[in-house]
Chains A and B, each alone.
Chain A
Amino acid sequence: DIQMTQSPSSLSASVGDRVTITCRSSQSISYYLNWYRQKPGKAPELLIYGASSLQTGVPSRFGGSGSGTDFTLTISSLQPEDFATYHCQQTYTIPRSFGQGTKLEIK
């Protein structure tokens, strides 16, 4: 199985800050990497697919990059609704594994 590791596991930031979350896979997954945001008590929502493609309707402050084994999610200017947990997921192979999540908290 491919293991997905996110860093950091948690971070604190302020509204307006630029933040970056990293996801690393245990073997190459090409660009089959997705990012989700999960607000407390809610289902995850798709932000980025294919490592860098912005899902329809998602604000442009979200951006993704990377290929192979190393990927990043960048939020250019944090908004109040962005304080949530972020998950990466590989869909290169079965099982379609997730990272452990990164909790983004208000400083």
Chain B
Amino acid sequence: QVQLSQWGAGLLKPSETLSLTCAVHGGSFSGYYWNWIRQPPGKGLEWIGEINHGGSTNYNPSLRGRVTMSIDMSKNQYSLKLRSVTAADTAVYYCARCMFAELSMDVWGQGTTVTVSS
């Protein structure tokens, strides 16, 4: 059974770069999109972007070019970088697997709380 575990810095100052990594346990990278989603305190879910095993990416235009996703198949990991963070980027960040065929997110990481504060 596939599991995702994620980690990264939980406290950032404005203008710093958020960096998170998600490890895939017990499954293959092929045939899926690997996603990042976030949830600000008390709010709904926001899709950040996705990457496939070939390294092709799709990002949410609302993040205005601040986001980069990468994949390291040798380590079964993928990563998120979000530059120039502000308080508005404070959220719980989730990694999630999205099936190619069904385009639905069937496996999620445990979430990482990221707080941006001076």
Interface residues of A (CB under 8 A from B): 1, 32, 34, 36, 42-46, 49-50, 53, 55, 87, 89, 91, 94-101
Contact = CB atoms under 8 A, between A and B. Distances in A.
Nearest to B108: A43
A46 B44 contact: no
B47 A95 contact: yes
A102 B33 CA distance: 26
B65 interface: no
Is the contact region of chain A dominated by helix, strand, or loop, or is it mixed? loop
A100 B45 CA distance: 7
A95 B20 CA distance: 20
A49 B102 contact: yes
Interface magnitude class on chain B:
20 to 34
Nearest to A100: B44
Given A43-B108, A95-B61, A53 B102 contact: yes
Given A1-B61, A43-B110, A101 B45 contact: yes
A44 B99 CA distance: 16
Given A91-B98, A95-B61, A95-B62, A50 B44 contact: no
A38 B111 CA distance: 12
Contacts of A89: 45, 47, 104-105
A97 B47 contact: yes
A94 B103 CA distance: 12
A87 B61 contact: no
Interface in B65-118: 94, 96, 98-99, 102-106, 108-111
A99 B39 CA distance: 12
B45 A44 contact: yes
Given A1-B61, A43-B109, A43-B111, A98 B104 contact: no
